[in-house]
Each structure stands twice: as structure tokens, then as C-alpha cells.
Structure 1
Amino acid sequence: MSRWHRCSIRGRLTVLAGIVMAILCTAVAIFAMVMVRQAAIEHGSDQLFARAVTMGGQARLKVPDLRKHPDQTIQILDPDGVVATATPDMAGRPRMSNVRPDVDAFAVTHTCDGQVFPGRCRIVLVYPFHRHDGVWKLLMAAPGVPWYVGPQLLIPVVVGWVLLVGVAAAGTHRIVGKALEPVYDISGNLARITADDLGHRVPAPRYRDELRGLVETVNRTLDRTQSAVQQQLDFASDASHDLRSPLTAMRTQIEEALMDPRHADWLRTANALLDSVERMQSLIGDLLQLARLDTGVTGNREAISLTELVRHELDRQPRKVTVDHHLASGVTVDGDRIGLTRLLNNLLDNAERHAASAITVTLELHPGTAVLQVCDDGEGIAPEQREAIFKRFARLEASRARDPGGTGLGLPIARQIAQLHGGTLTAEDSPHGARFVVRLPLAPAPGTL
């Protein structure tokens, strides 16, 4: 990983703010120096023009002796373009400029010709003037303007550039630090949360901003995590209790037989052990099913005729009580065949355990929903207990009396399968007995999304 990626958000933003401000300041400085330089060149040109007008007026009457002007840089060309006279610093040198303006105009150039001005740049003005023998030219030069104009401009620009970039970087560093202080607090609070202290929550900031939304999301996630962990702990506790019961019974039966092995009824003992093993096998199967459902693992989803599935299961497995059914045709859902079969059989097994003489299975087609009802003519379920029966390992007194070997996982598994299919399973009112209602979304029609 590069050093940039290892840098903190605060550091990266500080560097970026400094770079952006440096680019802006550089652009502004270049623009300002170009404008000031252009203004300086125009000012120098104006001064040259003023002097040229004065000297040109004198030269119309008499060509002056430029040796008397050692502090200036001047050349005068005759009508043939030959240097007629020049100041001492231009004596013997080529013409300062070859520009040929109109006879009634003038021209200004900025030249750095090494032959005329070695190592220097000059502003050169070409000013034509008339004499009796033709058009002469007055060439005057002034010191050129460097790109930085001068120290009086360059030093303030450099100092201002450094100050602005420094202030921008320092300000960004401080502002980002202040903005990230709640994030540091959140990180510190989250670091104190351990597996043994899932009840701790992150305090919400005072202001309703993005950080408050983040804290609320984190706290909701912690609530779900705590609920899931508590559910797993309760599940493990209940599972261990239900597994110990058949194991304890098996151990007791074996120990009793071994106390007097010659007179023990091993056939009766084996049958008793077989009952305990079957109960353990059923319980372990239910636990594995719950583990798969908790992780959201389902089989292949496909369009399934719920009508045919229910009819096949009712015909396949005979029951100890009468089973009546009323099945609507053409009811199709999108789901896992094995899971839906398990859901139906769990409801039928539960109804069979509690029915007095009959079970009624109804499948109806409602708008967008398939409604499956399994009813029995037993004692029914009290309204205050209709949610309790869907808790894992929860068994009512009537259920324990009818089936002591039950696991209390059939209905929870059935509800979880319904929920994984986007549906619901509820215990609802019934004139007599219990009525379980499954609602599942219908499969989309072919050709639709």
C-alpha cells in the first residue's frame, strides 16, 4: 500500500487543500504579473513616445549630436536606412529594429536581440519624422520589463503565495479535525464494545446531520447483533437442554441393565433406547434445518404448482385422522420445493397431534397471494398463546401431554420457511380447533418481470 493510502483522511484533505490553493494562487499570480508587466511595457512605451515626439521635432530642423545624450539609447536613420548618428552605447552597432511603420505612425517592439543588446532586453520605439530630403527614423530604447516585472512585485507575490497556501492547509487541517472529532468519539465507543458487553451504544451527536444518521444506523446494527447473539445463546441453551434429556434417559436405561446384565430385558432396553435415539435424530435434524434457515440457505427456487404439491403430500402419507381438502387449481408460487414440503408436513404433523378426528386443508387463490389453511378439530389455541407457539422449543402443556417426545421446533421452522419465501405463517381465529394460515406471493406470470 502506498504512503498516500496510509495517510489519514485529515492529512489527505490538508494536502489536497494546499495543492488546490497553490494552483489557484499560481494562476492568480501569473495573471497579475502578466497584467502588471503589460502595463509596465505600455508605460515605458508612452515615455519613449513622449521623448521621441520632442526629439523628432528638433531633428526636423537639425540632426542632433546624440553623443551629448549618454544616458539614453538612441539611433537616427537617414532615408536610406543608414545609421546617421547614435548615442555612445549604440555606436557601431546594427539598427535596434528593422520594423518599418507607416510614415505617419510609429511602432513599439520588445526585443532581446543578442547582437544589438547582448544579454539584455529592450523596449524599442520606431518614430518616423520628415525632413526636406525624405523620411528619417528615430529609434529609441528603454530597459525591457522582465517576466517577474521586478523585486517590488515578485517578493509580495511570493510571500502572499506562501501565506495563502499555508493558511489554506492549516485551516483545512483544523476544520477537518473538528469535523472528525465525532468520528473519533464513535470509534472510541465502538472499540469498547465486546462480545460480553453488547448492550453498550454510541451516544448520538447533538446536531441532526450525517454523523447522527451514521450513529443511529450503528446503534440499530448493534441492536440487531445483540438480538441475534441472544437468540443464538437461547437457542444453544434450549438445544443443550433438549439434547441432554434423551441422553440422560439412554444412560439411565443402560446403567440399569448393566447392574444385572444376566437378568436384564435387553429387548425392552433396546426398544427404549431406540425411542430415545429417534427423538435425538429428529431433534438434530430440526436443529440442522434451523441452522440452514438462519443463514438464509434455501434450495433452488422455481415456479411450483402449490396445488399439485399439497395434493401429492396428502395422497402420499396416510394420517391417523380424516383429512379433508379443498384445493383451488392453478395456484403457482416461486419457491423451494423441499422447503415448502417441509412447511406443509410440519403443519399437518402438528394438526394430527392435536386433532380429535379430522383435519381440513384449504388452498385458495387471492389477488397476488396463495392462501393455505390447515385446520384441526382439537382444543385450539388461546389467543394470548398464538405467538408463543412459534418460539423455538416452546411447547404448551396440551402439546406435552399429547406428545412428550416432541421438539417444539416444527412450527418455528414452518414460519421461518414461509418468511424466506416472502410470506407469513400465523395462527388465527377458528370456530373450533386451531387454524394455521400460510400466505405466499404468487409466481409472476410468464413474460413479466
Structure 2
Amino acid sequence: MPPRSIRGRLTALVTLLALLLLVPTGIAEAVIGRQAVADGIWLEVRQQAGITAALVRAGQLPDTTRPQVDGVPFVQVVDAANRVVLASPQAAGWPPLSSVHPPAGAPEADLKSCPRFSGCLRVAALRVTPAADSPVVYAGRQAASVGPFEQFGRFFGLQEGVLTILAAWATWKVTGRTLRPVEEIRADLAAIGGDDVSSRVPEPSGQDEIARLARTVNGTLSRIEEAKRGTERVLMRQRQFVADASHELRTPLAGLRTELEEAQMHPGETDLPELLDQALFDVDRLETIIADLLLLARVDSSGEAERTRVDLSDLVEAQVTRRLDRLPVRVTAEPGVHVTVVRSQVARVVANLLDNAQRHARRSVEVHVKRDGATAVLTVMDDGPGIPAAERERIFERFTRLDTARSRDHGGTGLGLAIARDVALAHDGTITACESPSGGACFTLRLPGDDAEMG
């Protein structure tokens, strides 16, 4: 069964590779070394045989009793009748080392002889002269003389085994040290719960894969934390919105129910036309609040396919025309200020800003439409009481009414400016509140202009 951990797998792989490399190398070293020793032995016995044959040819037979090459103790001169005529002290009294007589055409031969009175020998046989009755010189040494190399080979085998073990141990230690940060990252990630993602994993120094992994993990945790915060903010905003909506809807419903119950309890004292007028007023208010809530729900889901190219100046003129029965509105609009928007939503923003301005203005309202570089700008100003600087951001929150306009009978639902802000953001625009030159309120809507005419 293969190891489960990466550390174990790498160690096993390196150990296998070490064995695959070192074992054949050791075998090759043993074979080559043995052959080198054997070749050296053959060279020595040949050298001794040559020296002895030269002495025999020179008539110096008595001198051949002492080998001239160290390590070659066995020397014999054998005549054509296979009789030993001369032998070294170590080979004295021995029968011929071999019965092989090299022919004249091949005067030298390498032999391996294993006589009963001695161990196996490596023997060089050399014919002294080409004559038919030429003696033959035999020079030999023990074949067991390769034993020291065999011990050397065993040393090499032991060394290769030690190297394999060291390679496995070093791989295990180095891999463990290298993968330690990964284990720390894993442990830290396992300890991070769903309720708290603020923890971070340790980041090793350097630019290697593990360091980049740690930075990526921390970056992902940061994004998850930010997304969680955003989700929590959205949920809190939704809960607050639901609470506010419930409160806003409960008031007209409660009033409507009270009026109907009183009429039911005292039908004779009920002024039916007045009751119907008041009930219709409450129903209209409910309908307006529900319509605004539905619009807010649709703003974020508006797709690019619903957007069309609109002339903002024409759109403002059309909305102003519908409100000529109220306070006068003075419009200054550049022609051809085009934007690509959801027409119904932007029309609702313009309507809300105009209604808000006419509701709070004393004498008149001013509207300006112009280009500002690549941006279309709509400004709506009134000469009413204005908006305190500390409240200019809060008024865009849903169901927010300032003290000067808190009366629900005044006409507002508290959603008009919230709708304007959400529509502006959905179209990559902005809406801000400031003070008009006359001291009243001023609202500025900025939307990205149409690229065909604005640059």
C-alpha cells in the first residue's frame, strides 16, 4: 500500500530512485573491478612466463628457480615429454601445472588449473621456441588472490546501502521541514469557524509556492470576511427596512381599521362620504408605499437589456409639464443631454426630486440640465427651509423624514430620496444634497453620459 502523505511518497520515491541508481552502479563496479583484477593477474603471470622463457632461451636455467615477478610464486619449466625440469621453490615436487602445450602457431595460452594438491590457479603457458621439442614455461598464482577485491566490493555494497538510507532520511527530514508551513496552514484553516473569519494563516518569507499559497489563502479569507461584513450589513439593512416598512404600513392600516370599526359600531352617526374619503386617502397612501417598495426591489435587478438612450432634457421637460398646476418651475436645459438608462426609473427620480422641491419651496423651483464632460448633470433647487448639513446624508435613508416634514399628511412616504439614491447607484451615478443659493435645498444627480455625444 503506497504511503498516504506527500512526505512518505517523496521519501519512497527518492529511496527507489537511489536504489535504481546505486545498485546497478555497484554491480557494474564489482564486475569491472573483478575483471580489472583478473586482467592484472593474467598480466603478471604472462610477464613471469615471458621472463622465465627468455632466461631458458639464454641458457640461464638455474636462475629460473626464483620468480622475478612479485605475487607469482609458481613457476615450472616442462619439457616436451611433460617432465618438470625446473621449478620454483613453491612448485618444487609438483607435477606439471597443466598438460596444455601451446602449438608453435599460438605459443602463449591463458589457463585456469585446479590441481588436487592446490587451489585453483591462473596459469600462463608459454612455448620457449618454435621447435617441436621446445619446453613450455608455466607461471601461475592463486585465483583466490582476487579475494581482497571481493572485500572491497562488499565495502562498496555497504557504502551504497548507507547512501540509500541517508538519501531516504534526508528526504524525510527536508520534506517534513518544507511541508511544515503547509501543515500549519491546514491546522489554522481547520480552526477557523464560520462565525469568525478574521484569523489569518502564517505567511512564510520568500516567493516559493508555499509562501504564495499562504498569501492567496489570506487574501481569500480577507475577501470572505469582507463579503461576510457586506452580507451582514445588507441583512441588517433589510431587517431595518422590514421593520420600517411594517411600521409605515401599520399606521394607515390601523387608521383605516379604526374608522371602519367606528362606522360599524355607530352607523347612524357616521358621515359616509367623509368615511369613504378618509378610507380612500389611507388606501392611496398604502398603495403609494407598496408601489415605492416594489420599485426599490426592482432597482437592483434591472438589466442592461432594459436600458435605452434617453434625452435627459426632454425627460425633465415632460415631468415639469405634468406639474404646472403647482408652484412654478423654471427650467434651464441644454439640448441633447443623452444618457443610457432605464427610462421609467430615471423618470421616477426626476419626479421625486420635483415633488420634494415643490412640497418644500416657498415661491419657486429651479431645474438645470447640462453636460459636465462625460457626465449628465441634473440640479433641482428650491427656496424652502433647506436641509441642515448634518442631515444631508441621512435624508437618503429609507423612511427618513426631517422634523419640518414629518407629518404623514404632508404627502411624502419617506422613500422618494431613497429611491433616487438607489436608482443613481444602479446606473453608476451619484446624487447629493447641498444648499441652494437662496438658502433652500439643492439636489444634484450625476449620470454617465452617452458615449456617442459626450467625451
Residue of structure 1 aligned with 2:240, choices 228, 234, 241: 234
Tell me the CA shift for residue 398 of structure 1: 2.2
Measured in 2, the distance between the counterparts of 1:348 and 1:225 equals 34
1:46 aligned to which of 23, 26, 36: 36
Match of 2:444 among 425, 437, 449: 437
Q: Find out whether 1:377 has 2:373 as its counterpart.
A: no
Structure 2 CA distance for partners of 1:336 and 1:64, relative to 1, 3 Å: farther
CA distance in 2, matches of 1:281, 1:82: 129
The number of residues matched between the two structures is 381
Change (3 A) 1:51 1:430: same
Question: Aligned partners of 1:76 and 1:282: how far apart in 2?
Answer: 131
> Does 2:190 match 1:184?
yes
User: How do residues 15-414 of structure 1 correspond to structure 2 at under 5 angstroms?
Assistant: 15-60=5-50, 86-88=111-113, 152-153=158-159, 155-160=161-166, 162-164=168-170, 166-167=172-173, 171=177, 174-185=180-191, 187=192, 190-191=193-194, 193=195, 202=198, 210=215, 216-293=222-299, 300-315=306-321, 318-401=324-407, 403-414=409-420
* Counterpart code for 1:404: H
Asked if the contact 1:361/1:372 (under 8 Å) is kept, the reply is: yes
Q: CA deviation at 1:397?
A: 2.5
How many Å separate the matches in 2 of 1:359 and 1:168?
79
- Against the structure 1 CA distance between its residues 86 and 167, is the aligned structure 2 distance closer, same or farther, given a 3 Å change threshold? same
Secondary structure of the residue aligned to 2:431 is strand
Aligned partner of residue 344 in structure 1, secondary structure? helix
What SS class does the counterpart of residue 273 from structure 1 fall into? Answer: helix
1:202 counterpart letter in structure 2: S
Query: Secondary structure at the residue paired with 1:445?
Result: coil
Shift of residue 277 of structure 1?
Answer: 0.9
Instruction: Please give the secondary structure, in 2, of the residue aligned with 1:87.
Output: strand
Q: 1:345 to 1:419 in 2, by over 3 A?
A: same
TM normalised by structure 2 equals 0.69
Q: Distance in 1 between matches of 2:353 and 2:168?
A: 79
Within 2, Cα distance between the matches of 1:341 and 1:53? Answer: 112
* Structure with larger Rg: 2
| TM-superposition CA deviations, 1:71-125 (whole Å, max 9, x none) | xxxx998787899674258xxxxxxxxxxxxxxxxxxxxxxxxxxxxxxxxxxxx
**1:201–1:345 CA distance, 2 compared to 1 (3 A):** same
> d(CA) in 1 for partners of 2:449 and 2:105?
105
Q: What is the deviation of 1:324?
A: 1.9
Letter in 1 for 2:8: G
Q: Return closer, same or farther for 1:380/1:57 CA change in 2, 3 Å cut-off.
A: same
Cα deviation, residue 226, structure 1:
3.0
SS in 2 for 1:394: coil
The answer to whether the 8 Å contact 2:49/2:125 transfers is no
Superposition deviation, residue 58 in structure 1:
4.0
> Is the Cα–Cα contact under 8 Å of residues 370 and 376 in structure 2 kept in the other structure?
yes
* Contact 1:361–1:375 (CA under 8 A) maintained in structure 2: yes
Measure how far apart 1:225 and its partner are.
3.0
SS of the residue corresponding to residue 340 of structure 1 reads helix
- Rate the CA distance shift 1:163–1:206 in 2: closer, same or farther, 3 A: closer
**Does the CA-based 8 Å contact 1:76-1:83 persist in structure 2?**
no
For 1:273, the aligned partner's letter is A
Query: Relative to 1, partners in 2 of residues 1:148 and 1:273: Cα closer, same or farther, differing over 3 Å?
Result: farther
Quick one: which amino acid aligns to residue 445 of structure 2?
A: V
Contact 2:331-2:366 at 8 Å conserved across structures = yes
* Superposition TM-score, scaled by structure 1 size: 0.70
Amino acid at match of 2:394: A
Judging changes above 3 Å, is the alpha-carbon distance between structure 1 residues 81 and 429 closer, same or farther for their aligned structure 2 residues? farther
1:419 to 406, 413, 425: 425
CA contact (8 A) 1:78 1:84 kept: no
* Cα distance in 2 between the residues matched to 1:77 and 1:358: 139
